[in-house]
Amino acid sequence: LVGEQICEALAEPYWVDGESLLLGCSLGLAHANSVSAADPLMWHANIAMQQAKGQQGCAYHVYDERITRDARGQTDLEGELRRALRRDELVLHYQPRLCLKAGRVVGLEALVRWQHPERGLLPPSEFVPLAEESGLIVPLGYWVISRALRDMQWLLGRGLPPLHMAVNLSFRQFQDSQLLPTLSRLIAERGVDARWLEFELTETAIMRRSDQVQQTMLALGELGVRFSLDDFGTGFSSFVHLNNLPITLLKIDKSFVGGMTERTENRQLVRAMINLAHNLNLEVVAEGVEDTEQMMLLRQFGCDQAQGYLISKGLPLNELVRFLMQAPRHAQLGMAQN
């Protein structure tokens, strides 16, 4: 009750020289008892305040032991992730992208996994948000790029045709001053053609500090790298804004693709996205394709590529090679609705 009253009082506007000023506050509270010492009490209140900062507006939070356990758990996981990078516990799986006109695989998306020694194979949702928050996403991102380039080289050495390799790029990596020189060095070391490397960006990333993003994209584009926009339709970018960026492909989010067979609105929206993208000379990749009816509609709408479980889940490198050798099955998937 006291915390609520303080927050309400501080949320009221202040008048200074005829101007209205609004102040926000984040308040942490900790319960004291007769044996409480000052230092741990202040520490507990500070932890609670950090929790309050995660809420919007004026907010307060009362300390409890669970906060400490969760914070320790996050700290422990962060330490384990740092060790995982040193011990090479991370692995890449590759999800194929199918050309709907030619019926053949034309690209791959690199998907990072963590082979945790105790918890088994962890998906990115278990550790990538932590990496973003802690800043580990930068070294993690460089590891992914390096490993993907190495595997591109390995596939070419097995006589397989070159494929576009898509790697997710975090906004934090865009902010790293070493991005351009590090990428130049990695490409030179692996001896691959940079034109086959593709960075996937989210709408949220390109809308933040758009001038800086555009400059970085243009500099990377001079190396030959191309860009795709991931999860299109879930953010707030406009086609006018996108037209000013060196983007080659749009990836329609699976939430739209998945609802096409049930909702007329989704079908109309996907068709409109494809038409607008083509008018901007962009290729379109549909994500999350899981059944033949979705595939049929996408081909009918003129979609260029498809990605999803109907074609294949993400595969480790050795399984990927076997998959890529099955050219007749790919052609049947891509051309079955002719």
Please tell me the predicted confidence (pLDDT) of residue 176.
85
Under 8 Å between Cβ of 224 and 190: no
Give the helix ranges, DSSP H, for 12-110. 38-53, 65-87
Please tell me the predicted confidence (pLDDT) of residue 130.
83
Average pLDDT on 262-266 reads 86
How far is residue 314's CA from residue 323's CA, in Å, rounded to a whole number?
11
Average pLDDT on 139-162 reads 94
Please tell me the predicted confidence (pLDDT) of residue 92.
97
The distance from CA 50 to its chain's CA centroid, rounded to whole angstroms, is: 26
Give the helix ranges, DSSP H, for 104-230. 128-134, 137-157, 171-174, 179-190, 203-207, 210-221
CA–CA–CA angle 300, 305, 306 (5° rounding)? 90
Using pLDDT thresholds of 50, 70 and 90, give the confidence band for residue 200: very high
Average pLDDT on 306-328 reads 91
Which is more confidently placed, 12 or 133?
Answer: 133
How far is residue 147's CA from residue 141's CA, in Å, rounded to a whole number?
10
Q: What is the pLDDT of residues 32-78, one digit of tens each?
A: 775 567 767 787 787 788 777 766 667 888 877 665 555 555 667 78
Q: What percentage of the chain has pLDDT greater than the value 90?
A: 43
Please tell me the predicted confidence (pLDDT) of residue 236.
52
Please tell me the predicted confidence (pLDDT) of residue 244.
75
Please tell me the predicted confidence (pLDDT) of residue 330.
61
Please tell me the predicted confidence (pLDDT) of residue 188.
92
3-state secondary structure of 311: coil
Name the nearest CA neighbour of 13 among 4, 23, 25: 23
Which is more confidently placed, 57 or 158?
Answer: 158
Using pLDDT thresholds of 50, 70 and 90, give the confidence band for residue 280: confident
Please tell me the predicted confidence (pLDDT) of residue 140.
94
Q: Where are the domains of the chain?
A: 2-63, 89-335
pTM for the model: 0.76
Which is more confidently placed, 231 or 252?
Answer: 252
In this predicted structure, the answer to whether residue 315 has a pLDDT above a threshold of 90 is yes
Please tell me the predicted confidence (pLDDT) of residue 336.
47
Average pLDDT on 318-337 reads 72
In this predicted structure, the answer to whether residue 238 has a pLDDT above a threshold of 60 is no
Please tell me the predicted confidence (pLDDT) of residue 167.
96
Q: What is the pLDDT of residues 145-156, one digit of tens each?
A: 999 999 999 999
Give the helix ranges, DSSP H, for 88-135. 128-134
Please tell me the predicted confidence (pLDDT) of residue 44.
77
Average pLDDT on 169-196 reads 90
Using pLDDT thresholds of 50, 70 and 90, give the confidence band for residue 337: very low
For the domain bounded by 89-335, which CATH number is listed? Answer: 3.20.20.450
Name the nearest CA neighbour of 220 among 238, 237, 200: 200
How far is residue 203's CA from residue 133's CA, in Å, rounded to a whole number?
19
